[in-house]
Structure 1
Amino acid sequence: MGLIDHLSRPNVPVLTGDGVVLRLPRRADFAAWRALREESREFLTPWEPVWTSDELTYASFRRRVVRYNQEAREASSYSFFLFDADETTLMGGISVGHIRRGVAQACTLGYWMGQRFAGHGHMRRAVEAVKLFAFEVEGLHRIEAACLPSNQRSIGLLERCGFTREGHLRGYLKIAGKWEDHCLYAILAEEWSRAAAARGRSAPALRAGIVEMNG
């Protein structure tokens, strides 16, 4: 890890979960991130905002890392890169964003997966690790996620992870240059705790998935 990364990284856990590792992005991840995003361009762009002209440049990536670190320090958003168990292969990303405190105690889940890694259960395991982080570490009560009605892969993921469909959001996000309706899904902390207990594991025991601190 570079000196700049070491000095600027916030105090955020590295998360593990059944063969995946989630940690904050570092500048040294640029080459792997760029290669994965470029090879997955056609797979990703129908579900994302329009890519900028400098989307895959180092300067743009560096700004992302700076923003991710700042948001993590402020506890307003956490953006993780998703790696294999050895932390050698970047497979995608997942975020706990738009954190609202006070009476809400809620956040928004976001994620993306490289095309060649999709469909193998990696993102499901990442979502499970992030639920542990959001509910047990951050003390949030609600995780929301929105996806296009046509994105059956994403809908299937959320439903397998225990999210409940709550409504239909009109013109919610500008995706691929067009304002698109989205399906709203959510899961509550008590639902997650009940599901963990039903599997014979207490919520505190699941904290073993938080293996170390970045800072």
Structure 2
Amino acid sequence: MFALPFFRRDLPALKGDKVTLRVPLTNDYREWSTLRGESRAFLEPWEPRWQPDELDRTSWRLRIGRYREDYAQGTAIAFFIFEKSSGKLAGGITLGNIRHGVAQSGHIGYWIGERFGGRGMMTEAVELVSRFAFDTLRLHRIEAACIPDNARSIRVLEKAGFRREGLLRSYLRINGNWQDHYLYARIVDDPPGDGTKG
């Protein structure tokens, strides 16, 4: 049954040299809303348009509910990224659109707070989630999409061993506009990226 029995157990933290990943908890709200709020201008160009109540506690409760529902159904797992040295919340990464059967695939998306950018933390987080997807969930393929202008995200994916496979025209509505995206993918047999040590 692939991942279904796994999803019924508590998910352990994923630990690297720089970061620890764990599922979001209700009491993460204050730290999450502060980090997202102070990073808004940094994040908005790369994300769906923020709603007026984006950082409200009510929206947070709905978000946590969606995370739990997706997790229970085995279709997605959301992780928060914590800086290992300080224990501070640094960002988030989700393995979503998880499919089994003939596909055995998933899609990753991520964000990082502005003050934590450029430290190699996201590259390590992508590597940790990739290993989890391949080794624990037994997926065969992981995909990620990124806007061609997002040089930081391209660097993260390529350092984490993802390969560019093509251009998806007018793929996602980002910050109010339909945007082309590069499609990146990593297959279970691909060599690991070179960014886990740097």
TM-score normalised by the chain length of structure 1: 0.84
Runs of 5+ consecutive residues of structure 1 not aligned to the other structure: 1-8, 199-215
Query: What is the correspondence of 1:49-68 to structure 2 with a 5 Å cutoff?
Result: 49-68=48-67
Distance 1:72 1:186, change over 3 A: same
Q: Which residue type is aligned with residue 103 of structure 2?
A: A
Q: Which residue type is aligned with residue 46 of structure 1?
A: P
User: Which residue of 2 is the match for residue 102 of structure 1?
Assistant: 101
**Aligned-pair Cα RMSD in Å:** 1.6
Runs of 5+ consecutive residues of structure 2 not aligned to the other structure: 1-7
User: Which residue of 1 is the match for residue 4 of structure 2?
Assistant: none
Moved beyond 3 Å, runs of 4+: none
Query: What is the correspondence of 1:17-166 to structure 2 with a 5 Å cutoff?
Result: 17-85=16-84, 88-166=87-165
Segment drifting more, 156-165 vs 83-92: 83-92
User: Whose radius of gyration is greater, 1 or 2?
Assistant: 1
In the TM superposition, residue 12 of structure 1 has moved relative to its aligned partner by 1.8
How many aligned positions are there?
Answer: 187
**Matched position secondary structure for 1:13:** coil
Using the aligned pairs only, state the percent identity: 50
Query: What is the alpha-carbon distance in structure 2 between the residues aligned to residue 11 and residue 72 of structure 1?
Result: 11
Segment drifting more, 138-147 vs 12-21: 12-21
Q: Say whether the 8 Å CA contact 1:10–1:72 is kept in structure 2.
A: no
Distance 1:154 1:25, change over 3 A: same
In the TM superposition, residue 88 of structure 1 has moved relative to its aligned partner by 2.6
Query: What is the alpha-carbon distance in structure 1 between the residues aligned to residue 22 and residue 67 of structure 2?
Result: 11
In the TM superposition, residue 11 of structure 1 has moved relative to its aligned partner by 2.3
Output one character per residue of 1:54-102: Cα deviation in whole Å (capped at 9) or x when no partner. Answer: 1000110111111101111111000100002257300000010011111
Q: Say whether the 8 Å CA contact 1:12–1:72 is kept in structure 2.
A: no
In the TM superposition, residue 19 of structure 1 has moved relative to its aligned partner by 2.3
Return the structure number with greater helix share.
1
Query: What is the alpha-carbon distance in structure 2 between the residues aligned to residue 67 and residue 11 of structure 1?
Result: 17
Distance 1:27 1:87, change over 3 A: farther
Query: What is the alpha-carbon distance in structure 1 between the residues aligned to residue 84 and residue 46 of structure 2?
Result: 27
Q: Say whether the 8 Å CA contact 1:17–1:128 is kept in structure 2.
A: no
Query: What is the alpha-carbon distance in structure 2 between the residues aligned to residue 12 and residue 72 of structure 1?
Result: 10
Query: What is the alpha-carbon distance in structure 2 between the residues aligned to residue 107 and residue 42 of structure 1?
Result: 29
Query: What is the alpha-carbon distance in structure 2 between the residues aligned to residue 160 and residue 22 of structure 1?
Result: 19
